[in-house]
Each structure stands twice: as C-alpha cells, then as structure tokens.
Chain A
C-alpha cells in the first residue's frame, strides 16, 4: 500500500517533468536563435545560448520586413469590428429567444444549434462565392462578416448564461414602466458581462490565430494580417532562421500575454464553449 503510493508519486512527478520538457523543448530553439547575431548563428550550435538576450536587432528587422505594423493594425480592426457585431447581435438574439415564448421559438433555437455540426471548412467553397458576389473580397469587412455570421459560439454562450438571470428582474422593471428595449440595454446586457468577457477573449484568440479566412479572402499585401504576414515573411526568408524565429516570437507573444492575465476566463470559456 505504502509502496504503491510512493510509486505513484514518483510516476506522477516524472511524467509531469517529461510533459514540461515536451512543452518547452520546441520553443527553446526559436527563443535562443531569435537573439543571435549572424556570426553567432553560423558559429554556434543551433541549441547554444546567445551571447546576450538584449540583442533585439532580429526583432526590429522582422517586425519591419514582415510589415507587422500593418498586420497588427488590420488584425485589430477585424477583431474589434467582429467583436462589436458579435456581442450586439448575439446578446440581442439571446434576449429575444431567452425571454419570450413565441411560435417557432423551438425550431429556431434548433436551427442554430444544428448549424454547429456543419464544419465551416466544408462550406468555404460556397461562402467564397457569396463574399465575392457581395464584393467583399479584398476588403477587411469580408472576414468580419464571416466571423460574425458563420460562427455561433457567442449565441451558444449567451443562451447558457441568460437562463441564470432571474426573470423577476425583468418583471419588476416592467412594473416600473421600463420598455423592453430599455430592460435589454440596462439590465440584461450588463448582467451578461461575464459571458461577454468570455466571448471577447475566445473570439479574439480564434480570430488572431485564424489563417484560412485571411489567406483566402485577403490576398493583397495591404490587407495583411498577423498569420499571413508570417507566411509571406517565411516564404521570402526561409533560410534565415534567426529572423524567422524573431518573427514567430512576435506573433506568439500577444496571445500568450492575454492568456497569462486572463487565464481564469479562458479556462471557463473553453470548458463551456467545448461542451456545446
């Protein structure tokens, strides 16, 4: 019994050590090489530490050559517009569906939930033509429309959340003469705050990390976003690993920081979003 426990403890820590190594080993090589000068890069083993972790020249060069100021700008525009529309449309929809009984309410909700099983990647062939006929290819609004229209994560999260807001709040406001629109705006929407926070974080990460939509819909250089900037940079500089490493790190850092500061929301959101 006691031996068994000791064995389990050893196994536990040994496996965790292995896992930590497996997580950190791949990024190690880009972290050490992003800080190397050209001479160091050719003179030292790839896994050797750089002379100094204050050598930022690779970062500056990658940042400029990969057109990252523009990429971060475009990505931010797409994220902000998508989020605003997602939150407005999603919360309003869930207020209407979550608070009122009406004919076809059941089938309507079913229609939204059933859509989750259609893999978005399969419908791209047609969606591409739709966006084209709306003349929104080569336009930042094209991806925005897809992120708002083709993903219903926000509706799913709001629907779960609105059930837990007591209906008595609506009733007492109605007795005091508040209009339904006012109830939505001043009572329901603020109380949906935690759900909104979760949606903001999950959507920001998924839009930031998406490659397929911008690759397909925003081929022009002036519409570069973070994912496509890295792809274009790599295709030109594929041998220069110290530059590529710096570019990879620049792209990785924003979501990593977001994760460190907002981990609580991210874990909560991932669990509620996945169980749909």
Chain B
C-alpha cells in the first residue's frame, strides 16, 4: 500500500509513525513524572482534593530535619556494606569460573539461579530459613554447637535485621554480578596472560596487573548498581518485616510508598522522591567523572 509513494514520503511517514508512540510513552511515564514530582514537592497535596497549595521548601525541610525520615538511610547502609562484599565475592568466583575448571558451566548455572527466582517467593523462603524456632538456620547452628546463636531472632532484633535482609539480597544478586564480571573477563585477550606467563608473572600478579585494570569499567558499573540498589531497597523489608521491629528495617523507598499511599501525603512523598532522584544522579555523575579521569 506504500508502493506508490516516493521513498522520501515513505521515509517521513515511517519516521513519524514509528517514533510518535514510544516518544509519547517516554514523556508520559518518565519525564512528565520527574517534572511533576518537583512541582508537587512544593505543595501539600493529599492526592485527592483539587487544591494543591504552594508551601515553599517546607517538605524538603521536613525530609532533612525529621530523623524519622532522613535517618532511615542508616538502615540502607547495611545493604551498601553487604553489596560491597557481594562484589568482591562475585569477582572472585568470576575469576575461578573463568579459569580451567571441571563443570564450570554447572557452577555458573547454579550460582546464577537465585537471580531469576520470584522475589516474593525468595523473601518468604528466607522468612522460613530465619524463623527463630523452626528455621533451618537456627537448627543448623544448634547442631553445629553454637547454642547461644541458635536462638537468634534474625528478623526480630533491631541490631541485625538489616544485615539479615541484606544477606538475602546477597544470595539473590551475587550470581548476577558474577555473570557480568565473567563476560568482562572473557573479553580480555588471552595473549596478555600468555605474555605475562613468559615474563614469569605469578597468578596473583596477573590478576592485579592484567585482570583488574581490564575490568575496571565493569567494576564501576557494578558498584553503581550496588549503590543505587542500596538506595532503592524496597521489596525485602516490605514483604518480610514491614519495616519492623520498631522501624529498624525501614528504608527510604518503603517510607516514600507509605507516605504517599497510606498517609496520602503526596507533597512530602514527592519531595522524598526528588531527594532520592538527586542522590542517584549524583552517584552516576561521580561514576562518569571517575571514568573520564581514567581516560576511558
């Protein structure tokens, strides 16, 4: 049906019709909300009524001065710390699986498995593992003779609950990081290693002087994912602890959701969202800046 049209006209038609819909979707669901968030963050809108009165910086003052809001970032720290360990472990296993090894595909398959499992199912699975009286973790600790530890309430003690939850995300995402590192390792030309062997380099030296510099960019990418992941933690505490005990596992995003959808304080929730958005952009800018410094 386009046969009769000149290529020029077809070209215009294709460009126009193929771009309009995705562009509209992008503007509606990415850029409009980002801008609208900024506007709402200066109002006291409750999400229902028609009037949104302008209240200046009051919401932002609330975010930064109320320890109940900004203070929860200390809970996000656990996810960041565990995320760093997770990256070190992921690099280690990527190196192991990149070398000569029997059954390395089977190991890769198994280590990546948790990543593709349903997040809610994984959360409840760990709810059982962590259960104080019936959980398999305490049963195992008891059998190993750690009687003191075997009565631990992993999700009920405010000092450890964030680390218990962060460990679940370690279990889930280590294999994902590892697969990304592994792909980076496989793209390093093997003659670099051969040349180093001829020069008498040992395994550690090869790792420090060839492997690490070559996967530098991917390490930064994974660290970015770790930092933003830690800032945006939501589903584990939401499903397992609802932020408890006594707010010890509240995270910033969990609070945004509660503020907006339970307490109908859209103005404050918008200000919190904007703060989070700015944090993510700052982290990304630092990463880009560091990459440039390395001459990439």
Tell me the A residues contacting B by CB distance below 8 Å.
Answer: 1, 4, 8, 12, 15-16, 19-20, 22-30, 33, 45-47, 89-90, 92-93, 95-97, 100, 102, 108, 111-112, 115, 117-119, 121-130, 145-146, 148-150, 152, 155, 174, 177, 179-182, 184, 205, 208-212, 216, 226-227, 230-231, 234, 241, 244-245, 248, 251-252, 255-256, 258-260, 263, 266-267, 270-271, 274-275
Contact of B29 among A4, A45, A123, A255 (CB under 8 A): A123
* Residue contact A45 to B139, C-beta cutoff 8 Å: yes
CB within 8 Å of A: which B199-229 residues: 202-203, 218, 221, 225, 228
Whether B111 sits at the interface, judged by CB under 8 Å, is yes
Least Cβ–Cβ distance between A272 and chain B, in angstroms? 9
CB within 8 Å of A: which B1-35 residues: 1-3, 5, 7, 10-11, 14-15, 18-19, 21-23, 25-26, 28-34
16 more contacts with CB within 8 A, not counting A46-B135, A267-B112, are A4-B202, A15-B92, A19-B107, A29-B136, A89-B22, A112-B22, A119-B276, A122-B276, A125-B256, A125-B273, A174-B7, A179-B3, A180-B7, A231-B239, A251-B120, A270-B179
Given A16-B96, A19-B111, A123-B34, residue A230 in contact with residue B120 (CB < 8 A): yes
Least Cβ–Cβ distance between A56 and chain B, in angstroms? 18
Residues of B within 8 A of A182 (CB): 2
Closest A-B pairs by Cβ, 8 of them: A149-B25, A126-B33, A179-B2, A123-B33, A96-B18, A29-B136, A149-B29, A150-B29
* Residue contact A100 to B37, C-beta cutoff 8 Å: no
Residues of B within 8 A of A226 (CB): 118
Complex formed: what's the CA distance from A139 to B195 in Å? Answer: 62
Residues of A within 8 A of B140 (CB): 25, 47
Whether B253 sits at the interface, judged by CB under 8 Å, is yes
Given A125-B270, A146-B29, residue A212 in contact with residue B234 (CB < 8 A): yes
Interface size of B as a range: 35 or more
Given A119-B276, A123-B273, A125-B260, residue A252 in contact with residue B221 (CB < 8 A): no
Whether B64 sits at the interface, judged by CB under 8 Å, is no
Residues of A within 8 A of B79 (CB): none
Residue of B nearest to A149 (CB): B25
Given A28-B136, A29-B136, A256-B117, residue A126 in contact with residue B40 (CB < 8 A): yes
Q: Among the interface residues B23, B29, B32, which one has the most CB atoms of the partner chain A within 10 A? A: B29
* Residue contact A150 to B113, C-beta cutoff 8 Å: no
Tell me the B residues contacting A by CB distance below 8 Å.
Answer: 1-3, 5, 7, 10-11, 14-15, 18-19, 21-23, 25-26, 28-34, 36-37, 40, 47, 92-93, 96, 99, 101, 107-122, 124-126, 128-129, 131, 134-136, 139-140, 171, 176, 179-180, 183, 202-203, 218, 221, 225, 228, 232, 234-235, 239, 253, 256-257, 260-261, 266, 269-270, 273-274, 276-277, 280-281, 284
